[in-house]
Amino acid sequence: MRMLSALIVAAAAALLAPPAAAAQRTVTLDVPGMVCQMCPITVRIALQKVPGVEKAEVSLERKEAVVTFEDTKTGVDALLEATRNAGYPSSLKSGPATQ
């Protein structure tokens, strides 16, 4: 009987696990071209315009952007393109991390 209840617990845990699809991902982008206080604002607005981006935090000091997005709606390439189109070419620093 102990074996059976262990199986039930395992099955319940599997049912409670979130689906693999529609994962939120957070990546950090290197944005070396930012030089003044306006730069991170421009980069942040450009990133937030990308459909699927949930959060964009841009640091002038660290010259990086931390972006959280829905990975079924957008991807790293779209983020890199958005900053490049805004005048700030960027590259992937870390990630993709799932959270």
Q: Would you tell me which residues interact with Cu ion (CB under 5 A)?
A: 36, 38-39
Q: How far is the CB of 35 from Cu ion (least distance, A)?
A: 5
| Least gap, CB of 45 to Cu ion (angstroms) | 13
Is 29 within 8 Å of 79 (Cβ atoms)?
yes
The smaller minimum CB distance to Cu ion, of residues 48 and 68, is found at: 48
Q: Which is nearer to Cu ion, 34 or 67 (CB)?
A: 34
CB of 48 to Cu ion, least distance (A): 17
- Here the tokens at position 73 are 């709606």
Report d(CA 96, CA 98) in Å as an integer. 7
Between CA 33 and CA 22 the distance in angstroms is: 32
CB nearer to Cu ion: pick between 33 and 75: 33
Whole-number CA gyration radius for the chain? 19
